[in-house]
Structure 1
Amino acid sequence: MKLTLCVPLIWMLFSSAGALKCVQEYHWSTLQILKDPEPCNSTDVHCATVSYLDSKIIGEELYLIRRTCVPSSLCNQGDQLFSFSYDDTGRSVFLHCCSTDGCNDKSIPRLAADEPKPNGLQCDTCSLSDLSCNKKKQCVGNEDRCIAVNLNEYDETHPLHGCASANLCEADTELKLKLLFGRSINIDDMEFSAPKCCETSLCNSAPADKLSVISLLLGLVALSVC
């Protein structure tokens, strides 16, 4: 009986001892808290330092730093820059990964606050207060895709349509979106639908808009036949 109880305990101790430890905090860039590294989940095998640049949320840029544990799927392409913008809000994220205990206590380059230039792509967009998604947005910088994705939070679904960088539409998009918008990638407080990305202007139009256009065309055909 004692042996039966001891085996799980020994396994837990060895598992905890072998887990990667990373600094885990979220703060304004002007602060340098740097807590002691904490053990990661068994699925997280990299430490990450993430810098955020938010624009036009309260009329000024907000610069944040997150240090956390992440799975290997987010770190298979080296340093990465993700961008997503909708309505009049934009967010850029720079992700740096490393794989030794406490290695994410280093500083990383601050994202430039310079206003990026329009790149010629235009996408449909909507905001959390206007769900019609019938506005148009000019994409800028590396946002070379139109994107349509639904956010489910606290049993409410919100469409997020706008402009995105191409790497946001690749593998593990939900984890990247959680990294962009969520309070933690390990907490299921946000769920995202599979995003639909496309490369031509206004290709992310809301389904309702497309349906109305099709109905109009069918009506015209019916009138011409009659």
Structure 2
Amino acid sequence: MKAVLSTCLFWAMLSPVVPLKCISAGDTTELSAENVSECKPGQDLCVAGVLNTKSVANREEVFYGCAATEVCHSGHYSFTSTWGKFLDMTIHCCSSDLCNNETLTIPDHNALTPNGMQCPACFTARSQNCTSDKTVDCLGNENQCVRFEGALTEGFNKGHKFFFRGCATEDFCAIKEKQKKGFANLVRIGNSIVTARKENCYNAS
């Protein structure tokens, strides 16, 4: 019996590892069987993600491709603050061939419905604090009030720092916690990376 198991293990070790195949695209119009990439060693997940933000930068991004487990964090990362400032990012990670073929659309944050909750709100890109003399309606599944200091970075370029108070989703409120596991665990879509220096959340009402 041991000999049989040893032989099976031996042949399993010799068998070539078949790389994961993922849709690779920078636009939903490119989703097809022709735009497929074989993932590199260590990339064990497919990812689909969309970003829409008007904060320290106005940016829309769509990303489909391969990713390693430690850098792929499924979730809905959203915040709403004053002066029309918001970030809305959806990330979907999966582990089978071509599983990232879902058509994701750039979210229209302004079309989201208020959910009845409110939070103190302010926004600044010029200091590390701001005065919350207003409130903002929480939208969609935003059920947390957040006090956030961080940055929005494009690739490895210098990030755009900002500070705000407002409404956020539970996933957005977990950004700082994910970072504790190291640089590889930053929340990102393609070249867009959200980092948190300080983040405090509590239940909205």
- When normalised by structure 1's length, the TM-score is 0.55
Q: Gaps (5+ residues) in structure 1?
A: 1-13, 202-226
Over 3 Å counting, the alpha-carbon distance change for 1:40 and 1:194 in structure 2 is: farther
* 1:22–1:39 CA contact under 8 A, matched in 2: yes
Over 3 Å counting, the alpha-carbon distance change for 1:159 and 1:57 in structure 2 is: closer
* 1:24–1:38 CA contact under 8 A, matched in 2: no
2:148 aligns to what? 149
Aligned pairs (5 A) from 1:21-60:
21-27=21-27, 29=28, 31-32=29-30, 35-40=35-40, 42=42, 44-54=43-53
> Residues 168-202 of structure 1: CA distance to partner in whole angstroms, max 9, x if unpaired?
2237544887336x7256xxxx643252212257x
Q: How big is the shift at 1:156?
A: 6.9
Root-mean-square deviation (CA), in Å?
A: 4.2
For residue 91 of structure 2, the aligned residue among 86, 91, 95 is: 95
For residue 86 of structure 1, the aligned residue among 77, 81, 88 is: 81
Q: How big is the shift at 1:57?
A: 9.5
Q: How big is the shift at 1:110?
A: 6.9
1:169 aligns to what? 173
* 1:25–1:66 CA contact under 8 A, matched in 2: yes
- Give 1:66's aligned amino acid: F
Higher relative helix content: 1
Q: Does 1:124 align with 2:121?
A: yes
Larger radius of gyration: 1
> Matches of 1:176 and 1:119 in 2, distance apart?
33
1:159 aligns to what? 163
Which structure exhibits the higher relative contact order, with contacts defined as CA atoms closer than 8 Å and separated by 6 or more residues? Answer: 2
Q: What count of residue pairs does the alignment treat as equivalent?
A: 175
Higher relative strand content: 2
- When normalised by structure 2's length, the TM-score is 0.60
* 2:47–2:65 CA contact under 8 A, matched in 1: yes
Find the residue that maps to 1:161 and give its secondary structure.
strand
Find the residue that maps to 1:195 and give its secondary structure.
strand
* 2:81–2:123 CA contact under 8 A, matched in 1: yes
* 1:151–1:160 CA contact under 8 A, matched in 2: no
